[in-house]
């Protein structure tokens, strides 16, 4: 990789860059590229945001939505009704 890597080269190495797993010369080239290229810098921001987004989106909701609670109540009522017949 040359000192100023291409967008393809930067995007290929962004995960390792974010994790600090690249050699110093490669990190420096990517850092310079990111200063000059808003597209690749945006990719890096998105990559760094992923863990937080995943944590929030995978967290269970505080309360079941009203529609889900009603549906569950209807299923439970139908099961109780079937048990009495």
Report pTM: 0.61
Helices (H), the chain: 7-19, 24-36, 38-58, 66-84
Is 49 a member of any domain? yes
The total of structural domains in the chain comes to 1
1 within a domain of the structure (yes/no): no
CATH number of the domain to which 75 belongs: 1.10.10
Q: pLDDT digit string (tens) for 29-40? A: 999 999 999 999
Q: Which residues of 17-43 are buried (b: 16+ CB within 10 A; e: fewer)?
A: beeeebeeebeebbeebbeebeebeeb
63 pLDDT band (50/70/90 cuts)? low
Question: Measured between alpha carbons, how far is 51 from 31 in angstroms, rounded to an integer?
Answer: 22
Identify the domain containing residue 80 by its residue range. Answer: 7-84
The answer to the question of residue 2 being in a domain is: no
Q: Is 28 within the bounds of a domain? A: yes
């Amino acid at each position: 990789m040359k000192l100023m890597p291409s967008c393809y080269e930067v995007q290929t190495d962004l995960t390792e860059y974010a994790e600090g797993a690249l050699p110093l010369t490669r990190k420096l080239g990517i850092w310079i590229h990111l200063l000059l290229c808003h597209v690749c810098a945006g990719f890096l921001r998105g990559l760094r945001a992923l863990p937080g987004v995943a944590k929030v989106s995978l967290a269970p909701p505080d309360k079941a939505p009203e529609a889900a609670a009603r549906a569950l109540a209807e299923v439970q009522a139908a099961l109780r009704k079937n048990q009495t017949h």
